[in-house]
Amino acid sequence: MYKIGQVVWLISEASKQIEPVKVDSRTTVENENGAVTHHHAETTDGNLVNIEKQGWPVFESLQEAESHLMSLASKMVSSLAENAAEKARASFQESPPRDEKKVTDRPPPEAPTRADPAPDTESLETTADLSDEVHMVELPDGTKARFHLPPDLS
């Protein structure tokens, strides 16, 4: 149960952003089946939302919301890596070595200079269905990553 005046954090379905909301009121309805409590909160643009009807978890701290999104992003990256390993096994009868350093242990690649040619984007294959919205997350080291989050991981 949230306190009136408490700031909690939601993931906005519309903007895919972490949104702070301030608990404005609490309504409890009791009947013979029990009691149901609804919390209404004010958004930063002044609208009221029912917290329980948002569909995403409610976070009591910004760090919890960030950790949740990082966990989803990590699952997505692991899924992409497993798909790539399966393709390698199926196409080349070879599995990638398991003793390679993790990507997070490698230094970030250097930014290309103006003299570097632009990559040939027409020859790149896209393996993900990009018809859904692409999400952006900034990692703790400042690296920004775009990813497609399938509905089953939401």
Handedness of CA 88, 93, 94, 95 (dihedral sign): positive
> Is 59 within 8 Å of 7 (Cβ atoms)?
no
Q: What is the DSSP letter of 141?
A: T
Residues 75 and 29 in one domain: no
| Residue whose pair of structure tokens reads 């903007």 in the numeric block | 15
Q: Can you give the residue range of the structural domain that contains 67?
A: 62-98+133-154
pLDDT per residue as tens, the chain (154 positions): 899 999 999 988 777 789 999 999 999 999 999 999 999 999 999 999 999 888 778 999 999 999 988 998 999 999 999 999 899 888 888 766 665 555 555 565 565 554 445 444 444 344 444 445 677 777 777 777 777 666 666 5
Secondary structure of residue 66 in the 3-state scheme: helix
Residues 20 and 89 in one domain: no
Residues 144 and 89 in one domain: yes
Within-domain flag for 121:
no
Kindly report the pTM of this predicted structure: 0.53
Characterise 91 by phi-psi region: left (phi > 0), alpha (psi -120 to 50), beta (else): alpha
Overall number of domains in the chain: 2
Residues 140 and 78 in one domain: yes
